[in-house]
Amino acid sequence: MVYLDHAATTPVPRAVADAMYDVLSEQFGNPSAQYPMGLEMKKQVAHWRSVVAGALGCEPGRLFFTSCGTEGDNWAITAACWQNRHLGRHIVTTAVEHSAMLEGCRWMEKQGYEVTYLAPEPLSGAVTARQVLSAVRPDTALVSVMLVNNELGCIYPVEEIARGLAAQNPRTLLHTDAVQGFLKVPFSAKTLGADLITISAHKIGGPKGIGALYMGPRVKNPRPLLPGGGQESGARSGTEATAQIAGFAKAVELRGEHLAGKLSHMADIREYAVRRLCQIPDVQLVGGGTAPHILCVSLVGWPSQNIVNDLGSQGICISAGSACHQGRPSHVVAALKLPKRVAGGVIRLSFGPETTREDIDACAQALLRHHDSRMPML
Ligand code: PLP
């Protein structure tokens, strides 16, 4: 199998699975229990939290485990809107956020909030800090701009937005969905300046079903997402998902070893893929993405779902835009305002430290065969 869909999810290394198995089978104590096995697990969870927080560049007490990136995004919205409920009912975000953010915002609209969805620059998908800041009003409770776009690989200027927002409207909270940025586009919570940062384990070799939300010092007494037994400092109750948390921390440790080398390998692979794919007739690069692990192209005139199906039947896994859209046209591609034949042929290749040039060669050959054997339909 050739796996080129690391932005959808990533393989779990054996050491991560082993760490999880150990917790499930041996160290299965409840961290709230008062006997040694429980107390030991409480210590372990604190250690794992400090590992993830260390990679994010924040104090462990500012990191709250969640069940996934989707939960982190939704919690960020409700936490910020609750804190700023007396400031106003306006949210600024982009039209190319992950659906976890967009649907969360739509839900807020149903509760009377006004949401400004900023359109990116056509063709490139770029979003500028000036564009975001000019949409901010005195009643803006939350600004949310993702760090790396999951379909295009565009990196958005979150740090610059944070600086501008602090000067312009210091009470407005800033959230960034860094699910595709964490350990891919190095940043530190301390210097990034966002008040809320969402991450997810399964994009970096961790298990599915665990993520985290960073809440910075300007987020005061966050409204509990799940009131209950008081776990996660009372902000998100529910017995800790100890095996998932152990797997998350192990994945962070593994990914963090020689991270610079891994990132430059991914960037090399991306560059190689650009060269190989652009030799195929009718292939065109899409968007101005620069993240090392995401490459968006179009086989102009060939429907992307057919490409994905054809390559999939040969054991080559790529995505037609975002895996989260399940075959529906992607809102991100639509926002680029591409000609119909370009938009219809958009596919995403995404890479991990394990990706090889041979993987790219196999994909390029299959794409060329697809091109040569079928009539374009768009
Ligand atoms: N945000 C972005 C940018 C993503 O790419 C994803 C997943 O693809 C999510 C949020 C959702 O994360 P999770 O799958 O952990 O809910």
Predicted local distance difference test score (pLDDT) of residue 377: 73
Pocket of ligand 1 (CB under 6 A): 68-70, 73, 98, 100, 146, 150, 177, 179-180, 200, 202, 211, 324
**213, 280, 321 from 348: Cα distances, Å:** 27, 16, 5
Task: Tell me the residue range of the domain where 77 lies.
Answer: 14-256
pLDDT at 28: 97
125, 336 Cβ separation under 8 angstroms: yes
Domain boundary among 240, 256, 272: 256
Domain boundary among the residues 237, 256, 275 is at: 256
Assess whether 184 and 134 both reside in one domain.
yes
Ligand 1 pocket test target in 101, 324, 326, 330 with most atoms within 8 Å of CB: 324
- 8 A C-beta contact, residue 300 and residue 166: no
CATH assignment of the domain containing 287: 3.90.1150.10
- End-to-end Cα distance, the chain: 29
Strand 63-66 and strand 196-200: the pairing is unpaired
pLDDT of residue 374: 72
Residues 210 and 303 in one domain: no
Domain match, 250 and 270 both: no
Residues lower than pLDDT 70 in the chain: 321-329, 376, 378
Q: Which two tokens stand for residue 259?
A: 């991270």
Q: Which atom of ligand 1 is nearest to the CA of 148?
A: 3
- Which pLDDT value is given to residue 324? 46
Would 378 be classed as within a structural domain?
no
Q: How many domains does the chain have?
A: 2
Q: Average per-residue pLDDT in the chain? A: 96
Q: How far is the CA of 179 from the centre of ligand 1 (A)?
A: 6
Residue with the two structure tokens 């768009």: 378
Mutation probe of ligand 1 site: the residue of 103, 150, 294, 322 with most atoms within 8 A of C-beta: 150
Residues 307 and 219 in one domain: no
- Residues 92 and 228 occupy one common structural domain: yes
Find the catalytic residue in 278, 296, 317, 324: 324
What's the whole-model pTM score?
Answer: 0.97
Q: Given this model, what pLDDT does residue 39 score?
A: 98
Please give the pLDDT value at position 40.
Answer: 98
Instruction: Tell me, yes or no, if 363 is annotated catalytic.
Output: no
* Interstrand relation of 211-215 and 196-200 (parallel, antiparallel or unpaired): antiparallel
- pLDDT of amino acid 373: 87
Residue 210 lies in a domain: yes
For residue 328, the model assigns a pLDDT of: 55
Instruction: Write the CATH number for 191.
Output: 3.40.640.10
DSSP string across 264-300: HHHHHHHHHHHHHHTTSTTEEE-S----TTEEEEEET
Same domain, 251 and 262: no
Give the end of a domain, one of 196, 224, 256: 256
98: CA distance to ligand 1 center in Å?
7
Same domain membership, residue 96 and residue 44: yes
Is there a domain that residue 211 lies in?
yes
Query: Cα(293)–Cα(295) distance, rounded to whole angstroms?
Result: 7
